[in-house]
Amino acid sequence: MDDLRTSLLARIDRGLDAMATAPRMFGSPESLESQALLLLEFRCMVLRPHLTLKNPGEMEEAYEKYVGGAFADAPATMLAYILKGQGKQSELPEYMQRFRGQIEKDLPEENAYEHNDMVLDIEIRADRDIPSFSKICGYYERFMRAFRAIVRRGPKDESDAKDAMAKATEYPIPEIRVFPGENGGTRIRIPLEQPRFGQLSFEREFLSEQRAREAIRQAMDVVSWAEEVEPDMGNLRTLFPSNKQRKALAAHTIRMLPQEGIESVRVGGKLLGGGAIELRPSQAPKIVPVLEDGEDPETFSVTGIVRAVDRDQKWFRLKYRNTTRKCWVSNAEYLELACKALADKVKVTVDGDEFSVAYRRPFVQTHSLVLAA
């Protein structure tokens, strides 16, 4: 499925290709040149909206420079007139194609991470169906709830309204794009912009931006730590000395990670200095030990029904009596048994350690899982 942007670029490129192969279809040389320049300018506007807004004449400046380099002493800036004076009008399409190649090189597509406050690039593997819209929206809502929770934990201002920070992170979404991703997959891009003047006061806008910047950087610090070959708990304690803060960050960061069906999510933008950090489901089991650090677990031995399984994050949800528990699994065999129990709707018996975290729900580290008799 192509979005409007992709369709526009394809239409522009087809037009420029036609001008090169069948120039007479576009009228006089002057007409062909004007149409080609208009299409190239439109192409820049589609590929470089923020940069073109800052410098609306960038394409015209590039063209004048190109013509000046090819014909230093020419009195005009339009190739059609210059070539006509030299009896070389038939060479116009070739000159325009060379300029097109130069434009594509010198004025490339802008980096979305450098021009949006925050960007979520959701990657779907080629061997998987694109998740339903509700699942994409569900991930976005889960990410934003976790993000707002970290923002709220920032320094308090007595003048803040109860939901001031929540409203300050209700970012408008200018567009949602679906286009080819890596290795034949699909990418869903959600750019986010912070509320600007008119929506918040200047003071609150500045404060919310600073809190948002700090919050997303803290969460991405946890992700980067989890990406180490052997994450050292001491390194994370150095970054976040407060045990309460460290565990809260870990819990909310896990909520930000993609679940089964989504290959990865790149989080970037101006709030992260124009860079991007990749979130993957496999990071979740590496962050769970942060929640266990220093805790005294209770013995867990329960028979219940498997309600959901995430192969990528390596957990299943167990329902027993009127309670549910997320059970993390390090043994691939147990995960397959959980999948079988879910498909066959049979009960399982789970033994493990249960960790109770005051600000989040308790969870279980699974040591044994068997299908119930």
Per-residue pLDDT at 172: 78
Q: How many domains does the chain have?
A: 3
CA distances 222 to 34, 179, 256, Å, are 53, 29, 11
Dist. CA 358–CA 291, nearest whole Å: 11
CB 372 within 8 A of CB 349: yes
Condensed to tens digits (0 to 9), the pLDDT of residues 162-173 reads 556 666 677 877
Q: What is the amino acid identity at position 25?
A: M
Per-residue pLDDT at 1: 43
Per-residue pLDDT at 283: 96
More confident: 59 or 130: 59
CB 156 within 8 A of CB 106: no
Considering the domain architecture, whether residues 323 and 206 belong to the same structural domain is answered as no
Condensed to tens digits (0 to 9), the pLDDT of residues 201-260 reads 666 667 777 888 999 999 999 999 999 988 999 999 999 999 999 999 999 999 999 987
Considering the domain architecture, whether residues 63 and 194 belong to the same structural domain is answered as no
Environment class of 116 (CB within 10 Å of its CB; exposed 0-12, middle 13-18, buried 19+): buried
Return the minimum-mean-pLDDT range out of 69-73, 116-120, 254-258, 284-288. Answer: 69-73
Considering the domain architecture, whether residues 57 and 144 belong to the same structural domain is answered as no
Question: What token pair was written down for 279?
Answer: 């979130």
> Region 87-105: what's the mean pLDDT?
93
Per-residue pLDDT at 164: 60
Condensed to tens digits (0 to 9), the pLDDT of residues 46-79 reads 998 888 888 989 999 999 999 988 888 777 678 9
- Return the CATH number at 337: 2.40.50.500
Please say which residue of 264, 292, 320 terminates a domain. 292
